[in-house]
């Protein structure tokens, strides 16, 4: 059982949950994730750790509401408990002084990439942050990012922010103008895929945080298997960060939509039960 | 590997003899002639009709009733030299518990078993008795049909649970020592029970959200109802064992952290959780599961009750399960129950070499499972959605015996053929879970990733750390895990006594 200390809507459809988990808060590092179950009927779903406070003993994640589990999470109230909360899981992101690094985040990945950017800054890198949002009002944590970034860009489909093109264009422009030593990207599969494609021709190593479907998160089931450099890897223990230029993306896309019809059925069932 | 008889320890021999010479035993023994006893035929386990049971998850075996159990117990000759005890990896006093059934004292009988086996309701259901205690039973030699030791073991433990007469023994006064047990599978549960009775403070750390290990995520409800497991775990709680689920040792905390937190000894029972794949083309296609994933979705996450429970599972219509062990049988029978039109086993050797229990193979056959023996998959083909649609297989023949003593299967050239499938479960075995060894560099591991121990004491290469069960053996059995655990528990107790006693 883990207590919800805070749950708030950051922007439409994106929520933050802060959970009491002192052990996780003491151990976790950027790039790691937790697995939780929203209630006893729930699925075990992974969420990246977006922030933590070892003193308070709390761990924060940002969730994009897509299906049953994330809907359930978005309705949790302060003081309620989730029955399963386990972590930290996965290998931490590789953090060291690379020189100039580019951190790209989209939707939930804006929160998820934040601790990576922060740690890279602390390690002495020049940090460029690039956020992908559909519209300016979907951006959150701008202040937090500005604090840890030397440069901050937002790629939004409306004209409010500094660049309007899709992320891969911005990435291409950025790497054209200067030497970038390493790219980190977290967000939906399509975003991280296009980000890796944008840097491929220049051969800039691009670490992507993969999000295949998971069950246990401890290497026990193989649900999360991905092909990287021709070899099968378990994303939950060998990753989630992998070199985006070596990932078999087609396989990942098709494995992720495996349960599409079930997910819709599940959401319908739950909505009927919950709201009628 | 059928007869693995061990010599009994002198201490056990003594105990058996003392029981054997008790007055009530002698009377009972002479009350019916051996010849008469041998005339009684072996009890048949009542089971649900195969056509009815292959559609749901209720238990297949119904269990004996009192009358049947007592009649079966009468068959036992109460031998002066009981061979069955030698066949049992934990040395249960089998004759005494059977004779107590004959007298009708079922509660006393189960307590007798519990002196050496804390999980009889589970062992009575899943132990391979046919290659342990029953195969060496003297009656087997005399008549070809041994006492149904497993059925009787199950009967008395179910009786105790159903009558609510679970007996919670007095634990010794607190010693002030703290023991961390990693993994709540049969090995961890056994160690916890033994050590808490000796007065140590025991905490079990478990990665998943339920205790039981393979018993909860692997073995399906129709073979081992979850309520039997829950009763055993409740019993341990009553004894004072503390369970910390959702705790991945190595990640949430390491053994070193535990040491700093004041734990005095450790038992690692983290099992063989790493699924093996064949590394053939197409194995990562949509629709291809490891047995662990498939069974975990269905059992632990209750996908068979989707959408009441949120976790989905593919309802394959044509399902091939690769492998010939218990895990393969459980997977294929599960697929059948989830509505497959066709569910079959693909196994590279012949029926004789199948490692699954005879009872499971037999049940599977009865339920309409098809067996493609001497067959091996070569690759998987996909449809336009990326889901598996067929598999190419090759026929095999048996060649020379390999290191395991079984004849090695060799492909027959040109015998390739295609099977139409929309789901595949790969059940070719599990390796020891690497998480603990990889986060505890001081621990020595063998070439299969197993933690190395001294087999007499179960001590690992790090002081105060012991290990047992599948993490040291690779995929083995429940009773072997429990046997290791008992040895480890008594050694841990000795180790703690040599440590300076501290005050709580
Ligand atoms: C390592 C990792 C880190 C992640 N971090 C975050 C995060 O910080 N914030 C966030 O919002 N999302 C994150 N995700 C994705 C998140 O886990 C899924 O969005 C969530 O499981 C969807 O559940 P649902 O029931 O709401 O939706 P569903 O309707 O079940 O599914 C919607 C989509 O989510 C994916 N999905 C479904 N079940 C799972 C599962 N058990 N594991 C993984 N993906 C699944 C499916 O591919 C599907 O496309 C992460 C995924 C991984 C693997
Ligand atoms: C489908 C199936 C059917 C089987 N059928 C039979 C049968 O009929 N008869 C029989 O005798 N045997 C059978 N077996 C084998 C038997 O179940 C195992 O040999 C036995 O469970 C091993 O016990 P264990 O305690 O060593 O490990 P497990 O039962 O594997 O338990 C290990 C536990 O440790 C936990 N763990 C792992 N790593 C960590 C960590 N880092 N931190 C915290 N916890 C951790 C795991 O989550 C798990 O709960 C079967 C196995 C399977 C998979
Ligand atoms: S524990 Fe297993 S081997 Fe021992 S008596 Fe019971 S069934 Fe037989
Ligand atoms: S989620 Fe089960 S092995 Fe990765």
Predicted local distance difference test score (pLDDT) of residue B168: 78
Q: Which of B246, B252, B290 sits opposite A221 (nearest CB)?
A: B290
Question: A163-177, B336-350, B468-482 — which is least confidently predicted?
Answer: A163-177
**Alpha-carbon separation of residue B387 from A215, A248, B424 (angstroms):** 20, 16, 10
**Alpha-carbon separation of residue B398 from A29, A142, B111, B409, B429 (angstroms):** 52, 67, 47, 4, 20
Question: A43-47, B1-5, B308-312, B465-469 — which is least confidently predicted?
Answer: B1-5
Give residue B386's pLDDT band: very low, low, confident or very high (50, 70, 90).
confident
Confidence check: pLDDT of B215 > 80: yes
∠B48-B54-B55 over CA atoms, to 5°?
110
Confidence check: pLDDT of A162 > 80: no
Give residue B169's pLDDT band: very low, low, confident or very high (50, 70, 90).
confident
Please say whether the beta carbons of A91 and A237 come within 8 A. Answer: yes
The verdict on A224 and A120 lying in the same domain is yes
Substitution site in A32, A45, A215 for ligand 4 pocket (most atoms within 8 Å of beta carbon): A215
How much is the average pLDDT of B286-305?
A: 94
Predicted local distance difference test score (pLDDT) of residue B90: 87
Predicted local distance difference test score (pLDDT) of residue B6: 66
**Which residue of B210, B289, B307 is the best one to mutate when testing the A interface, meaning the one whose CB has the most A CBs within 10 A?**
B307
**What is the bridge-based pairing of β-strands A51-53 and A81-82?**
unpaired
The verdict on A121 and A242 lying in the same domain is yes
The verdict on A13 and A85 lying in the same domain is yes
Give A62's strand partners: A16
B39 CA → ligand 2 middle, Å: 40
A265 within domain boundaries: no
Give one word for B443, left, alpha or beta, with left for phi > 0 and alpha for psi -120 to 50: beta
- Domains in chain B with CATH codes: 10-162 (1.10.1060.10), 178-273+431-503 (3.50.50.60), 278-428 (3.50.50.60)
* B contact set with A (CB within 8 A): 207-209, 246-248, 251-253, 273-275, 277, 279, 283-284, 286, 289-290, 292-293, 296-297, 301, 306-312, 314, 385-386, 433-435
**Among chain B residues, CA nearest to A248:** B284
**What is the bridge-based pairing of β-strands B407-411 and B274-275?**
unpaired
A41 within domain boundaries: yes
Give A61's strand partners: A17
Q: What is the pLDDT of residues B99-119, one digit of tens each?
A: 999 999 999 999 999 888 888
Nearest to A148 by CA among A95, A188, A193: A95
The verdict on A64 and A149 lying in the same domain is no
Q: What is the pLDDT of residues B464-501, one digit of tens each?
A: 999 999 999 988 999 999 999 999 999 999 999 888 65
A272 within domain boundaries: no
**What dihedral do alpha carbons B242, B245, B250, B252 form, nearest 10°?**
-100
The token pair at B147 is 């006492």
Q: What is the pLDDT of residues B302-341, one digit of tens each?
A: 999 999 999 999 999 999 999 999 999 999 999 999 999 9
Confidence check: pLDDT of B3 > 70: no
The verdict on A226 and A146 lying in the same domain is yes
Q: Which atom of ligand 2 is nearest to the CA of B475?
A: 19
Task: Give the separation between CA B1 and CA A270, rounded to whole angstroms.
Answer: 51
Give A238's strand partners: none
A266 within domain boundaries: no
A268 within domain boundaries: no
Average per-residue pLDDT in chain A? 93
A273 within domain boundaries: no
> CB count, 10 Å around CB of A115?
25
The verdict on A11 and A81 lying in the same domain is yes
Confidence check: pLDDT of A133 > 50: yes
The verdict on A27 and A148 lying in the same domain is no
**Which residue of B311, B380, B386 is the best one to mutate when testing the A interface, meaning the one whose CB has the most A CBs within 10 A?**
B311
Task: Determine whether the interchain pair B306/A262 forms a contact, defined as Cβ–Cβ distance below 8 Å.
Answer: yes
Q: What share of chain B is helix, strand, coil (3-state, %, to 5)?
A: 40, 15, 45
How much is the average pLDDT of B442-456?
A: 90
How much is the average pLDDT of A271-275?
A: 87
**Which residue of A220, A230, A234, A264 is the best one to mutate when testing the B interface, meaning the one whose CB has the most B CBs within 10 A?**
A220
Task: Give the separation between CA B455 and CA B449, rounded to whole angstroms.
Answer: 16
Q: What is the DSSP string of B444-473?
A: -B-TTSPBP-BTTTTB-SSTTEEE-THHHH
Task: Determine whether the interchain pair A218/B275 forms a contact, defined as Cβ–Cβ distance below 8 Å.
Answer: no
How much is the average pLDDT of B426-453?
A: 90
Q: What is the pLDDT of residues B119-152, one digit of tens each?
A: 899 999 999 998 899 999 989 888 889 999 999 9
Confidence check: pLDDT of A170 > 90: no
Count: domains in chain A: 2
Q: Which of A24, A43, A227 sits opposite B311 (nearest CB)?
A: A43
The token pair at B292 is 């662990």
How much is the average pLDDT of A243-255?
A: 94
Predicted local distance difference test score (pLDDT) of residue A213: 94
Q: What is the pLDDT of residues A27-42, one digit of tens each?
A: 999 999 999 999 999 9
Confidence check: pLDDT of B15 > 70: yes
- CATH code: domain of residue A20: 2.40.30.10
The verdict on A126 and A251 lying in the same domain is yes
Of A69, A89, A109, which residue constitutes the final position of a domain? A89
ipTM value, please give it.
0.93
Q: Provide the angle, in degrees to the nearest 10, between the axes of the packed helices B358-366 and B326-337.
A: 20
A95 within domain boundaries: no
A94 within domain boundaries: no
Confidence check: pLDDT of A193 > 70: yes
Task: Give the separation between CA B80 and CA B488, rounded to whole angstroms.
Answer: 31
Predicted local distance difference test score (pLDDT) of residue B502: 52
Of A65, A89, A113, which residue constitutes the final position of a domain? A89
Q: Name the maximum alpha-carbon separation found in chain A.
A: 57
Q: Which atom of ligand 2 is nearest to the CA of B473?
A: 26
The verdict on A43 and A108 lying in the same domain is no
Confidence check: pLDDT of B232 > 60: yes
Confidence check: pLDDT of B64 > 80: yes
The verdict on A138 and A238 lying in the same domain is yes
Confidence check: pLDDT of B414 > 50: yes
Q: Which ligand is nearest to the CA of A107?
A: 1
Of A31, A62, A89, which residue constitutes the final position of a domain? A89
Predicted local distance difference test score (pLDDT) of residue B500: 64
Predicted local distance difference test score (pLDDT) of residue B504: 46
Predicted local distance difference test score (pLDDT) of residue B2: 36
Average per-residue pLDDT in chain B? 91
Domain span at residue A20?
A: 2-89
Give residue B389's pLDDT band: very low, low, confident or very high (50, 70, 90).
very high
- CATH code: domain of residue A159: 3.40.50.80
Q: Give me the residues of A, 184-243, that contact B with CB < 8 A.
A: 215-216, 218-223, 225-227, 232, 237
Give one word for B378, left, alpha or beta, with left for phi > 0 and alpha for psi -120 to 50: alpha
> Omega of the bond prior to B307 within 30 degrees of 0, cis?
yes
Q: What is the pLDDT of residues A58-102, one digit of tens each?
A: 999 999 999 999 999 999 999 999 999 998 999 999 999 999 999
How much is the average pLDDT of B279-303?
A: 95
The verdict on A136 and A183 lying in the same domain is yes
Q: What is the pTM of this model?
A: 0.92
The token pair at B95 is 């004759």
The verdict on A107 and A182 lying in the same domain is yes
How much is the average pLDDT of B255-282?
A: 94
Q: Which of B209, B273, B284 sits opposite A232 (nearest CB)?
A: B284
Q: What is the pLDDT of residues B365-376, one digit of tens each?
A: 999 999 999 999
Task: Determine whether the interchain pair B310/A42 forms a contact, defined as Cβ–Cβ distance below 8 Å.
Answer: yes
Alpha-carbon distance A229 to nearest alpha carbon in chain B (angstroms): 14
């Amino acid at each position: 059982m883990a207590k919800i200390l805070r749950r708030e809507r950051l922007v439409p459809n994106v929520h933050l949950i802060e959970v009491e988990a002192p052990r996780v808060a003491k151990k976790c590092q950027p790039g790691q994730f937790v697995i939780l179950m929203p209630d006893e009927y729930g699925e075990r779903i992974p969420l990246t750790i977006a922030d933590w406070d070892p003193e308070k003993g709390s761990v924060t994640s940002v969730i994009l509401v897509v299906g049953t589990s994330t809907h359930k999470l978005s309705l949790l109230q302060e003081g309620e408990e989730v029955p399963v909360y386990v972590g930290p899981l996965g290998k931490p992101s590789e953090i060291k002084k690379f020189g100039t690094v580019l951190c790209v985040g989209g939707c939930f990945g804006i929160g998820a990439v934040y601790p990576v950017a922060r740690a890279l800054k602390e390690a002495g890198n020049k940090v460029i942050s690039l956020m992908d949002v559909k519209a300016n009002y979907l951006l959150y944590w701008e202040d937090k990012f500005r604090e840890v970034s030397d440069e901050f860009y937002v790629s939004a489909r409306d004209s409010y922010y500094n660049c309007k093109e899709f992320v891969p264009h911005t990435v291409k422009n950025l790497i054209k103008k200067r030497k970038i030593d390493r790219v980190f990207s977290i967000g939906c599969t399509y975003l991280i895929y296009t980000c890796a494609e944008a840097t491929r021709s220049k051969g800039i190593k691009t670490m992507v945080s993969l999000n295949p479907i998971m069950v246990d998160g401890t290497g026990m089931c193989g649900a999360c298997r991905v092909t990287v450099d021709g070899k099968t890897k378990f994303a939950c223990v060998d990753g989630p960060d992998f070199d985006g230029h070596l990932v078999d993306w087609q396989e990942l896309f098709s494995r992720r939509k495996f349960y599409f019809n079930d997910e819709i059925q599940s959401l319908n069932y739950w909505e009927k039960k919950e709201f009628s | 590997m059928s007869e693995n008889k061990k010599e009994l320890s002198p201490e056990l021999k003594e105990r058996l003899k003392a029981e054997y010479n008790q007055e009530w035993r002698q009377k009972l023994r002479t009350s019916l002639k051996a010849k008469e006893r041998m005339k009684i035929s072996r009890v048949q386990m009542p089971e649900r009709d195969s056509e009815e049971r292959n559609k749901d998850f209720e238990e297949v075996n119904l269990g004996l009733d009192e009358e049947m159990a007592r009649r079966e117990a009468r068959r036992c000759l109460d031998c002066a030299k009981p061979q069955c005890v030698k066949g049992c990896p934990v040395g249960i006093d089998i004759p005494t518990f059977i004779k107590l059934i004959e007298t009708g004292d079922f509660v006393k009988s189960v307590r007798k078993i519990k002196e050496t086996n804390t999980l009889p309701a589970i062992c009575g259901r899943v132990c391979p008795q046919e290659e342990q205690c029953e195969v060496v039973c003297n009656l087997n030699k005399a008549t070809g049909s041994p006492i149904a030791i497993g059925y009787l073991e199950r009967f008395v433990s179910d009786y105790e649970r159903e009558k609510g007469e679970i007996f919670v023994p007095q634990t010794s006064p607190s010693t002030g020592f703290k023991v961390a047990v990693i993994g709540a599978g049969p090995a961890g549960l056994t160690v916890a029970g033994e050590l808490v009775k000796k007065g140590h403070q025991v905490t079990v750390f478990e990665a998943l959200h339920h205790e039981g290990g393979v018993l909860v995520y692997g073995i399906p409800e129709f073979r081992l109802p979850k309520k039997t497991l829950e009763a055993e775990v409740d019993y341990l709680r009553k004894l004072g064992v503390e369970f910390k689920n959702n705790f991945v040792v190595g990640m949430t905390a390491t053994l070193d952290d535990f040491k700093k937190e004041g734990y005095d000894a450790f038992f690692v029972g983290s099992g063989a959780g790493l699924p093996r794949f064949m590394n053939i083309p197409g194995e990562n296609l949509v629709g291809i599961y490891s047995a662990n994933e498939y069974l975990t979705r269905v059992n632990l996450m209750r996908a068979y009750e989707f959408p009441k429970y949120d976790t989905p599972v593919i309802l394959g219509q044509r399902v091939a399960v690769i492998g010939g062990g218990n895990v393969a049988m459980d997977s294929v029978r599960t697929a059948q129950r989830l509505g497959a039109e066709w569910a079959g086993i693909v196994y590279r050797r012949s029926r004789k070499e199948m490692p699954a229990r005879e009872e499971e193979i037999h049940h599977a056959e009865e339920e309409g499972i098809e067996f493609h023996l001497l067959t091996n998959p070569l690759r998987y083909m996909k449809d336009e959605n990326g889901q598996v649609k067929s598999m190419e297989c090759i026929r095999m023949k048996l060649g020379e015996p390999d290191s395991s003593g079984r004849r090695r299967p060799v492909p027959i050239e040109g015998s390739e053929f295609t099977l139409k499938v929309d789901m595949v479960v790969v059940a070719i075995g599990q390796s020891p879970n690497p998480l603990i060894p990889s986060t505890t560099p001081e621990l020595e591991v063998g070439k299969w990733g197993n933690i190395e121990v001294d087999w007499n004491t179960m001590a690992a290469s790090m002081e105060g750390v012991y290990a047992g069960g599948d993490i040291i053996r690779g995929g083995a059995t429940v009773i072997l895990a429990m046997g290791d655990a008992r040895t480890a528990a008594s050694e841990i107790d000795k180790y703690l006594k040599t440590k300076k006693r501290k005050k709580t």
